[in-house]
Amino acid sequence: MNERSTQVRRALEAVLFLADEPISSSVLAQSVEVSRREAEGALRDLAGELEARDSGLALREVAGGWRLFTHPEAAPYVERFVVSSKHTRLTKAALETLAIVAYKQPVTRHQIAGIRGVNPDGVLRALTDRGLILEVGREGPGRAVLYGTTPEFLERLGLPSLADLPSISPLLAESDAGAEGTLAGPG
């Protein structure tokens, strides 16, 4: 196998990895800058290669296009992973609480409750169980727990550090402008 065909297969595999629906061979050919015929040959080769090496992935032609799937024999493991509470989507309350912890850390339960206006105990427990936040210290005479984010939080967001969180200032400025407009009545 020559270097060009290896590069074409690698590029096709990368594009297919990102796709959330079947992609036609003509669109794939265009995206990796080869002829449709060359793309179809490379796709068949890639499908055979995945099967030959007992990959956890399978490439199939379905619904007028090509798509990567998990191998049917891996289904019980994939299902267990997807169903696990650690990898399910976060609720709106959990996202709000996580944002507060991320931007205000270290932060206490009382401070979170003051911002959100509701008791955050259940949400804090869920975020801790998922490994997204943790106790980073204690504060004051009552020794209130201080919460902060974990390396898992950064990994899930694809950030190298907390310094790379997007600035919240533009959002606050928009919010203030909207609030002023709402509060200001006719003169």
Every domain range in the chain assigned CATH 1.10.10.10: 3-74, 87-183
Q: What is the CATH number of domain 87-183?
A: 1.10.10.10
Q: Is the pLDDT of residue 181 over 80?
A: no
For residue 105, give the nearest of 156, 147, 157 by alpha carbon: 147
Whole-number Å distance between alpha carbons of 104 and 117: 16
DSSP 8-state assignment for residue 64: T
Dmax (CA) of the chain:
78
- What's the confidence (pLDDT) of residue 158? 83
Q: Please, are residues 98 and 90 in contact by the beta-carbon 8 Å criterion?
A: yes
Q: Is the pLDDT of residue 182 over 60?
A: no
Whole-number Å distance between alpha carbons of 85 and 41: 41
* E strands present in 34-182: 57-62, 65-70, 107-108, 133-139, 144-149
Bigger pLDDT: 41 vs 83: 41
Pick the CATH number of 3-74 from 1.10.287.130, 3.30.70.2700, 1.10.10.10, 1.10.3720.10: 1.10.10.10
Token pair belonging to 134:
């943790």
Q: Is the pLDDT of residue 83 over 70?
A: no
For tokens 């004051």, name the residue: 140
State whether residue 185 is helix, strand or coil.
coil
Token pair belonging to 79:
């299902």
Which pTM does this prediction carry? Answer: 0.50
